[in-house]
Chains A and B, each alone.
Chain A
Amino acid sequence: MCLAVPARVEALDEATAMAVVSLDGIRKEVSTQLLEQVAIGDYVLIHVGFALERIDPVEAAKTLALFAELRAMDGNA
């Protein structure tokens, strides 16, 4: 029940706090009223028609860099 999927913000309507998000081409209208800030191009976690939070691209990149390092180490072993 607590599943939430990352989708890209395609369009924003600040007056109604609604956004159109896209998940692999599937477009859906969701509420952004739980977010402090959001911009077009952000990835947000969608749960029951609401964006719960922005995905932090810097933090995501750090985690992925760690995995890449692991794979590189394995390649050298």
Chain B
Amino acid sequence: MKYIDEFRDGDTARLLAGLIHKEVSPDRNYRLMEFCGGHTHAIFRFGIVDLMPENVRFVHGPGCPVCVLPAGRIEAAIRLAESSDIILCTYADLMRVPAGKKDSLHKARARGADIRMIYSATDALAIAQANPERQVVFFAIGFETTTPPTAAVIRIAAAMALTNFTVFCNHVLTPPAMAHILASGEASIDGILGPSHVSTIIGSQAYADCCAQYRMPLVIAGFEPVDVIQSTLLLIRQINEGIHRVENQYTRAVSASGNRKAKALMDEIFELRPRFEWRGLGELPDSALAIRHTYAAFDAEKRFHMAPVTTTDIKGCICPAVLRGVSNPDECKLFGTVCTPEEPKGACMVSSEGACAAYYSYGRFRAEVTS
């Protein structure tokens, strides 16, 4: 497939990995955070970890939207779906994420709530048009990549003057989360592999302040394995030279200023939430989006007076530390025994992008093989 196969070429990958081996300094460690869950999976699925020298370590970041969504938001959606005759639509990733008291959207659906999995935000809109007598709520999650489609359907719903369509908005922003992780310093990282498609929307300039303030090298990387390895090489070169700048490896899809049309649309529909809770990172200021007052008629939190819900995470689950880049999934007592993709206890084991799911799917026998 064009633009995929070329960037999965094994010979190129090995040559780039060879350069990494040649250029790393043996007297230091390189701790590189891949912000995105998509990169975590590429690193494990394509065996990139095994191509790296011992002293190059990948630290997994919080870039998995279902992983960072606190259980209380899911609990709030379940309560809404069970208390009134609404149709709740959501992306499949969210269905099995544990909410409070071992509950999930999947289980709520089994109990009879009308919860539907959709592929696109436009599917939720179509369901609303097909069911004019019922209220349809789109449970929207995602980073900047997934936000413009949500903005687009809200604008369409407004143009059509739909009265039975609202959005439960949980969209979050990448730069504030990155800044938080760098400010805390607890993950002790030397460089960042920057997001692919978040950057397609927000542009490479969006990280300039954060990198300058924390003197952090950052390379925006495509999701294919050769992209990831080349970006790792570029990061190692920056670290060796003692410089820190925003570099863009994924030039075929990322520009300095991003997608202007998508950004303008997001700005029209959404505004910053003063505070939003992230699983693992806690409450972060100006880190998430809410629907603007002009479009309040499409805001599920306002229409249904949704009250904030707080829940406690499962005892023993170290998802929060994994999301901050402080712990690895296999350090968790529940990993692979109590908590598996079939019966997940923590969000990071559910999502196909979660770090725990990546370790489980591609790396759970690694320790046995290498020891």
* Contact surface of A with B, Cβ cutoff 8 Å: 1-6, 8, 23-24, 31, 33-36, 43, 45, 47-50, 52-53, 55-57, 59-60, 62-64, 67, 70-71, 74
**Contact A33:B252 (CB < 8 A) given known A52-B145, A67-B12:** no
Least Cβ–Cβ distance between A1 and chain B, in angstroms: 5
Find the B residue at minimum CB distance from A5. B4
Does B366 belong to the interface (CB within 8 Å)? no
Q: Once the chains are docked, how many angstroms separate the CA of A6 from the CA of B353?
A: 19
CA separation between A74 and B12, bound complex, in Å?
Answer: 10
CB contacts (< 8 Å) of A6 on chain B: these are 1-4
CA distance A6 to B8 in the complex (A): 14
Indicate whether B355 reaches chain A with its CB closer than 8 angstroms: no
Given A24-B1, A34-B261, A43-B2, also A3-B120 (CB < 8 A): no
A3 touches B2 (CB 8 A): no
Within the complex, which residue of A34, A50, A56 is in contact with B251, where a contact is CB–CB below 8 Å?
A56
Instruction: State A40–B327 Cα separation when bound (angstroms).
Output: 47
- Whether the pair A49, B119 counts as a contact (CB closer than 8 A) is yes
* Contact between B152 and A33, CB atoms less than 8 A apart: yes
Is B262 among interface residues, defined by CB-CB distance under 8 A? yes
Give the nearest-CB partner of A70 in chain B: B15
New A-B pairs, 9, CB < 8 Å, besides A45-B253, A50-B120:
A1-B37, A1-B353, A2-B143, A3-B38, A6-B4, A45-B197, A47-B146, A56-B251, A70-B12
In the bound assembly, the distance between CA atoms of A62 and B345 in angstroms comes to: 45
Bound-state Cα–Cα, A53 to B202, Å: 12
Contacts of A57 in B (CB 8 A): 252
A36 to chain B: closest residue by CB: B261
Supposing A48-B149, A52-B200 touch, asked if A35 and B261 sit within 8 A by C-beta, the answer is yes
Residues of B with C-beta under 8 A to A8: 2
Point out the residues of chain B lying under 8 angstroms from A23, CB to CB.
1
A67 touches B9 (CB 8 A): yes
Q: Which residues of B contact A74 (CB under 8 A)?
A: 15
Task: Supply 17 A–B pairs (Cβ within 8 Å), ascending by A.
Answer: A1-B91, A1-B93, A1-B145, A1-B353, A2-B37, A2-B38, A2-B63, A2-B142, A2-B353, A3-B38, A6-B2, A48-B121, A49-B149, A52-B145, A52-B201, A55-B252, A71-B12
